[in-house]
Amino acid sequence: MDAKDTKRLSRLTAMLTHLQTKKTMTAAEFAKKFSVSKRTIYRDFKALEQAGVPVLTEDGKGYMLMEGYRIPPIMFSESEANALITAEQLVLKNKDASFVRDYTEAIGKIKAVLRSNTKDKVDLLSRRIASGHNTSHSRTSNNLSILQLALTNFNLVKVKYYSPDNQQTTERTIEPFAIYTSQENWLLIAFCRLRNDYRAFRLDRIETLSVQNQTFTPHQMTFEDYFERCVKKSATP
């Protein structure tokens, strides 16, 4: 394979990856992105179609992949595989059961596509690496995965939340905004309609949870804006 063919293969792969992460893109936009002519882009897409890739076109919007089509999994380098295995050991100590379950299933699928020699090395590393946190493997929550989906789909969530300060459980309707972890305990930042303000909810204190079909208007502020807001609030006498 000469340099020209290698460059074209790299471009075709990049085009597929882009279409899988973004819905549509015009030939002119592809031509500008890869510094080639529109005619070259047309030829590229014809080659992809001949290779069996289900590329669709929509007038005025450009090219897209058929719904449900996915590029076959890429190969991981040994260093990338090692990074995933290291992360796995940290995840296994996490206190949210849903997060551990989903990551374990995902890493299993990743291991299945590793080259045999890389897989052997990964298996060796997994037996020789460990995290000292949460050695008892205790699980204190099981709602992280469902709250992640509620956050990204802008679904309202109803919770019964226990507050140790007043030893009371309150029912609240919240708008998930962000998630962060501290000392292995996950916290959900959400706009609480009961308090009419943003609050941090520890997942291990959520007694019951119900994701609603009703959606809310996406929050316009960033995570950085939220922390700046907290700093200003704490500085107010």
Question: What is the secondary structure of 170-193 as a DSSP string?
Answer: EEEEEEEEEEEEETTEEEEEEEET
pLDDT in tens, 148-176: 999 999 999 999 999 988 889 999 999 99
Q: Does the residue 83 lie in any domain?
A: yes
**What is the maximal distance between C-alpha atoms in the chain?**
72
Spatial separation of the C-alpha atoms in residues 188 and 191, rounded to whole Å: 10
The domain that holds 36 is classified in CATH as 1.10.10.10
What's the CATH code of the domain at 176?
A: 2.30.30.530
Inform me whether the pLDDT recorded for 11 exceeds 60.
yes
Clarify whether residues 152 and 96 are in a common domain.
no
Establish if 24 belongs to a structural domain: yes
Question: Same domain for 83 and 60?
Answer: no
With H, G, I as helix, E, B as strand and everything else as coil, classify residue 96. Answer: strand
Residue 31 lies in a domain: yes
Expressed as residue numbers, the domain containing 59 is 3-65
Quick check: is 73 in a domain? no
The tally of domains found in the chain comes to: 3
**Two structure tokens written together for 198:** 């943003």
Does 71 map to a domain?
A: no
Neighbours of 87 (CB within 10 A): 12
Q: Are residues 87 and 167 in the same domain?
A: no
Establish if 136 belongs to a structural domain.
no
Count of beta carbons in the 10 Å neighbourhood of residue 89: 14
How many whole angstroms separate alpha carbon 204 and alpha carbon 163?
Answer: 11
Are 15 and 26 in contact by the 8 Å Cβ rule? The answer is no
Residues 152 and 230 in one domain: yes
What does the pLDDT look like over 34-50, one tens digit per residue? Answer: 889 999 999 998 888 88
Q: Same structural domain for residues 189 and 116?
A: no
Domain assignment present for residue 11? The answer is yes
Both 229 and 158 in one domain: the answer is: yes
- Specify the pTM: 0.64
What does the alpha-carbon distance between residue 41 and residue 38 come to, in Å, rounded to a whole number? 5
Last residue of a domain, one of 13, 34, 65: 65
Note whether 84 and 159 are same-domain residues: no
Cα–Cα distance, 219 to 223 (Å, whole number) = 10
Question: In this predicted model, what pLDDT tens digit does every residue of 72-96 receive, in sequence order?
Answer: 656 677 888 888 888 888 888 888 9
Residue 149 lies in a domain: yes
Tell me whether residue 208 is exposed, middle or buried, using C-beta atoms within 10 angstroms of its C-beta: 0 to 12, 13 to 18, 19 or more: exposed
- How far is 177 from 226, CA to CA, in rounded Å? 10
